[in-house]
Structures are given as structure tokens and as C-alpha cells.
Amino acid sequence: MKELRKKKGLSRTELAYKAGVSYASIAAYEAGTRTPNLDAGVKIAKELGVTPEKLGKLMQKASKQLKIKEKTDEGQSQRHITN
């Protein structure tokens, strides 16, 4: 989502305003820690020039990447504790 937003030349603040959501929500959506409700997702997709389905796929990808990172970070933390 971040890449699409940047291609459109929008800041997080601008996208949040146009889509009617908070800056914090946009940041969380981009980080993969939250997903927008249907209404917000449709508005964000419209502002980014993609279908809601495309936005949903991008959001799923970001969420999966976050989970992989968390597992990797968790594994590293456990190795440091045991060493």
C-alpha cells in the first residue's frame, strides 16, 4: 500500500484525509498491523486507483511479511536468552 501511495504522490496525511480515516490508521495499514473495514478499504482503494480486491491482496501480503518478521525476531530473541 505504501508503494501505491507514494506512486500517487500522496503523503499519509493526504491519503488519510481523502479516505476519511486517521493518519495512525494509514500507518497501521501500511505496517500490516491493522486492516481497514470495508468502507475505509473501498475509499482508500479509490484514492490509490486500485480495486478493493487489489488493495486487499496488498494488505494480506504486508500482514504475512510482518508475521514472518515477528517469528524471525522472536527466534533471535530466544537464541540470545539461551546463549
In sequence order, what DSSP letters do the residues of 31-59 get, joined into one string?
HTS----HHHHHHHHHHHTS-HHHHHHHH
CB 39 within 8 A of CB 72: no
Between CA 61 and CA 55 the distance in angstroms is 10
CATH number, domain of 61, equals 1.10.260.40
Question: 70: pLDDT confidence band, cut at 50, 70 and 90?
Answer: low
pTM (2 d.p.): 0.74
pLDDT above 80: residue 79 = no
The 10s digit of each residue's pLDDT in 32-53 is: 888 899 999 999 999 999 999 9
User: Coil, helix or strand for 20?
Assistant: coil
**Confidence at residue 62, expressed as pLDDT on a 0 to 100 scale:** 73
pLDDT above 90: residue 76 = no
Give the range of the structural domain holding residue 25, as residue numbers without chain letter: 2-82
**Confidence at residue 39, expressed as pLDDT on a 0 to 100 scale:** 95
State how many domains the chain has: 1
Question: 61: pLDDT confidence band, cut at 50, 70 and 90?
Answer: confident
